[in-house]
């Protein structure tokens, strides 16, 4: 199936065993909503492609979720796949979405399936405490940064017990105050976005690390600045000096959320 739904707000598409709904009314704000409603209890994946970037997401049945659309202006290819056996999938749907953002930062203020602060019950109360007395964005950024690096600890064993589809639960991470770089970066981005500060979650590599890594880019002084809360949290606990803004040349981004 090849459908172009560029000019539509909500599209209802028949797929084998049910329907696939796409709500693109918030696409220029950084996300679309999707819903797979079928009788069979199968696994589904949504693929978002723009230029050479391909991002895949698990799609639960009968649950509306927000999928990030944050790769800039242009045409996005949306594809839905259904698992048939093992690691084999068949394509059920493909279509295009045209995105024209207002400001470059708009898409990095919203909640979505990766940085899901809509589902968090603790983040609002925490932010009131962390940013108390801070009235401008720069001071809020510093307050949130200091909270994350001083209160979270790195869990060196966790990476051995999660799969490639792991997505941090913000409430869970804030409760135990421990996690891997993905957890640090999602929590930091969520706290900033909830405070109306644009923030990106980036995954890729740091030049002096072999392991896959996650960090953030934050809108500071009218530009995107690299911030690595995981790195600084570890440095601080080793008694070393750390600086919030990093040299972006040390980082090689592969995916942006």
Q: Among residues 97, 69, 78, 100, which one has the least CA distance to residue 5?
A: 97
Put residue 96 in one of left, alpha, beta given phi > 0 → left and psi -120 to 50 → alpha: beta
Burial (CB count <10 Å: 0-12, 13-18, 19+), residue 169:
middle
Whether domain 123-256 has CATH 3.10.620.30: yes
Burial (CB count <10 Å: 0-12, 13-18, 19+), residue 86:
exposed
pTM to 2 decimal places: 0.84
CB-CB contact of 104 with 93 (8 Å): no
**3-108 matches 123-256 in fold:** no
Q: What is the pLDDT of residue 102?
A: 63
Cα angle value 183/104/29 (rounded, 5°): 70
Q: What is the pLDDT of residue 186?
A: 97
Residues 163, 180: Cα–Cα separation, whole Å = 13
Q: Which two tokens stand for residue 253?
A: 């981004």
- Print pLDDT tens along the chain (257 aa): 334 444 457 888 888 889 999 999 888 888 999 999 988 778 999 999 998 889 999 998 888 999 998 888 899 999 999 998 888 999 999 999 998 876 678 889 999 989 999 888 889 999 999 999 999 999 999 999 999 999 999 999 998 988 877 899 999 999 999 999 999 999 999 999 999 999 999 999 999 999 999 999 999 999 999 999 999 999 999 999 999 999 999 999 998 89
In this structure, the number of other CB atoms found within 10 A of the CB of residue 252 comes to 12
Q: What is the pLDDT of residue 8?
A: 58
Residues 155, 158: Cα–Cα separation, whole Å = 6
CB-CB contact of 68 with 113 (8 Å): yes
* Domain residue ranges of the chain, discontinuous segments joined by +: 3-108, 123-256
CATH for 3-108 is 2.60.40
């Amino acid at each position: 199936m090849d459908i172009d739904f560029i000019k539509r707000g909500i599209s209802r598409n028949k797929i084998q065993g049910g329907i696939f709904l796409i709500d693109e009314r918030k696409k220029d704000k950084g996300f679309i909503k999707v819903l797979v409603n079928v009788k069979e209890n199968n696994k589904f994946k949504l693929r978002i492609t723009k230029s050479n970037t391909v991002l895949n997401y698990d799609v639960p049945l009968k649950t509306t979720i927000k999928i990030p659309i944050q790769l800039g202006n242009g045409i996005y290819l949306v594809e839905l796949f259904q698992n048939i056996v093992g690691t084999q999938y068949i394509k059920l749907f493909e279509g295009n979405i045209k995105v024209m953002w207002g400001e470059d930062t708009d898409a990095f203020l919203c909640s979505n399936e990766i940085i899901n602060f809509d589902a968090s019950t603790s983040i609002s109360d925490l932010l009131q405490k962390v940013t108390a007395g801070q009235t401008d964005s720069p001071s809020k950024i510093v307050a949130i940064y200091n909270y994350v690096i001083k209160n979270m600890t790195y869990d060196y064993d966790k990476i051995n017990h999660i799969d490639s589809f792991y997505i941090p639960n913000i409430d869970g991470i804030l409760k135990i105050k421990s996690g891997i770089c993905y957890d640090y970066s999602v929590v930091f981005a969520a706290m900033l976005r909830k405070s109306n500060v644009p923030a990106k979650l980036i995954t890729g590599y740091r030049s002096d690390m072999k392991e896959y890594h996650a960090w953030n880019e934050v809108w500071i002084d009218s530009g995107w600045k690299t911030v690595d809360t995981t790195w600084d949290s570890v440095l601080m606990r080793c008694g070393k000096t750390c600086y919030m803004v990093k040299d972006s040349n040390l980082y090689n981004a592969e995916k942006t959320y």
